[in-house]
Structure 1
Amino acid sequence: MPATEPLSQHVRDYETIYILRPTTQPGAAEKCAQRIAEVIDREKGKLTKVDNWGKRQLAYPIERHSRGIFVHLRYLGQGGLVQELERNLRLVDDVIRFQTIVLGAGPEIADVAVDEEAVKFIPVEADDGNEVQTVEERLGLPTFSERRYDRDDSRGDAFTDPADDASAEAQADDDTASDEGKASTETTPSAANSGTSSDSEGEKS
């Protein structure tokens, strides 16, 4: 009977980013953090790093939110851990998106020393209820990002760098200004031709 393979041959290093609603209260965010820690512990994994990135602009609106609270996790475990973690994230109403990436093979969990400060979930700030919204969002109309993704028949990625969207909006504004300038230029010759025609008719009379 073959010997059981060492645990380190099965362990993987993962990272998960999950996004909370911008209106999530500190107590709800803490419950979510506790749930995550319990799942990782129960599935024999090990949390190695937690980063609270705070509120950030989303690549496109999700459930009418233009911003979200981003939390980044690094942990060691096996495939079953990821499935169970994501199943639990789906059950948390305040979680609107999450994404998991395999970073590579992980070391044997027992050999990994973790700094307690590195795995602390930093409390989120209480929402002041003043989330900044665009005119389109306040009126319930499609935003620039929604129109762009619908046109491309793609919803894109909520984790895209917000700077990409800002550049796209700036480019759209430049294109609009350019089109208006062209329209103005095209109108001017017509008016000039109209004046020439009137002068010609006057000479004939």
Structure 2
Amino acid sequence: MMKKLLQTTFLLGCMFQLNSQILSEEVYYPQPLETEPCYYTSYSLNTNGEIETLQTEAVMVEEWTTPLRGRIIDFTLLKADDNLILLVEIHEDAQEVLQPICFGSKTKITFELSNGKKVTLPQFGPKRCGYVNIADDESPYYNITNLGYFLISENAANKLLTSETYLGSINSNNYNLDFVFKSEIYDEVNEMMIYPELYFLSELQCMLNPILPKD
């Protein structure tokens, strides 16, 4: 069941109306980090040659399965209009009926760090609702994606860079989810090891100190 979910491709919709030209797609450039290098899926520059928009590749930070239900959480970082945004995608499948969730202004996500600090990010932008991915009469399960955008302030970013993350919690009027950042997860689809607890330590550096191809 989860294998089919993992192989499903989810296309991110554009958050902002961008007037600048997209200069590159599927951009990869290594960063001087002790963890994995950065992967940028897109970026754009303004007329002064400064980075105007930037997006990292989606990274799986949680995988949870039971015989009857499964969940994957992907994180993506976006930068646009001087805002730094965390996109959270929650992909779920189950034999029971699943209904998409809407995340609005009262939704927030809180992270607990290994050094004891807590960081809370507010929901960003208009209310967004999840959607159904798979409608397959031959598949005895439901498959949905819920998603939320959360604003990362400068103060929050500085805190997230101080320590590993070990717990996440999403709270809204009709939805609550706690999940653990493991030290490592093996991504069977891409055949690579992922280190969820180090996500912000590496990916935030990719956004705050980006290095793009010169060509």
Instruction: Give me the TM-score of the superposition, normalised by structure 2.
Output: 0.25
Larger radius of gyration: 1
More helix by share: 1
Q: Structure with the greater relative contact order (CA < 8 A, sep ≥ 6): 1 or 2?
A: 1
More strand by share: 2
Instruction: Give me the TM-score of the superposition, normalised by structure 1.
Output: 0.26
